[in-house]
Chain A
């Protein structure tokens, strides 16, 4: 079953605007990760936020995590046409001897118009 549910399914904005994508999940997690996928390509890791962290930044990316609401958001500031891609959240519920088993959401398709 899909642990992460993303919202919106599609987002269309103008270059320079900010883009916010949300992810909700159902069970306790070790960490939550965001990935980007250009059409027909593999996924690229963007940022990882641990369950004991509330906010993390990387360049133009800002990720928040609210474990009480079981939700996360990804903010891309000052978007560029090159940011056009699908964005996926993935939750890591593994522990003990089982590492790296991620459960992915269905993704948000972001289109940035020049």
Chain B
């Protein structure tokens, strides 16, 4: 079955440490996205990529970095510069076309203490 796999499901880190969240898709989608969700909130776009080796900042990119070396993979690094990193992180993918819905992974819950 095709889908998006995010790992790990839960992640705990100490303040000041960088941490990388994994996102892999086998849907053959060109576009991939990272969203952040805080309790009781909607999703906010961190970064997105429409093609390998290219990505753009979303609305809240500060303190985050990404890479897109392979079509299937779009890892997100939460750096120590992110002031409030504790959140639920969701990865998504889509085709690069008009009116294309997003397919989401099941998220990684990051807790930084």
Contacts and interface: CB of A to CB of B under 8 A. Distances in A.
B81 to A, nearest CB: 22
A1 to B, nearest CB: 8
B107 A105 contact: no
Interface residues of B, number: 31
Given A43-B90, A44-B104, A45-B101, A100 B31 contact: yes
A25 to B, nearest CB: 12
A99 B95 CA distance: 8
B68 interface: no
Interface string A100-114: 111111110000000
Contact of B99 (A2, A40, A48, A98): A48
B97 interface: yes
A97 B30 CA distance: 13
B90 A99 contact: no
B97 A99 contact: yes
Contacts of A88: 42-43
B102 A106 contact: no
Interface string A7-47: 00000000000000000000000110101000011111100
B41 to A, nearest CB: 6
Contacts of B58: 101
A31 B99 contact: yes
Interface of A: 1-2, 4, 30-31, 33, 35, 40-45, 48, 50, 88, 90, 92, 97-107
* Shortest 8 CB-CB contacts between residues of A and residues of B: A42-B104, A104-B42, A45-B101, A104-B43, A100-B94, A106-B42, A42-B106, A43-B104
25 contacts: A30-B98, A33-B101, A35-B104, A40-B107, A42-B4, A42-B6, A42-B106, A42-B107, A43-B92, A43-B102, A44-B104, A45-B103, A88-B43, A99-B94, A99-B98, A100-B33, A100-B94, A100-B100, A101-B45, A101-B48, A102-B43, A102-B45, A102-B102, A103-B45, A104-B42
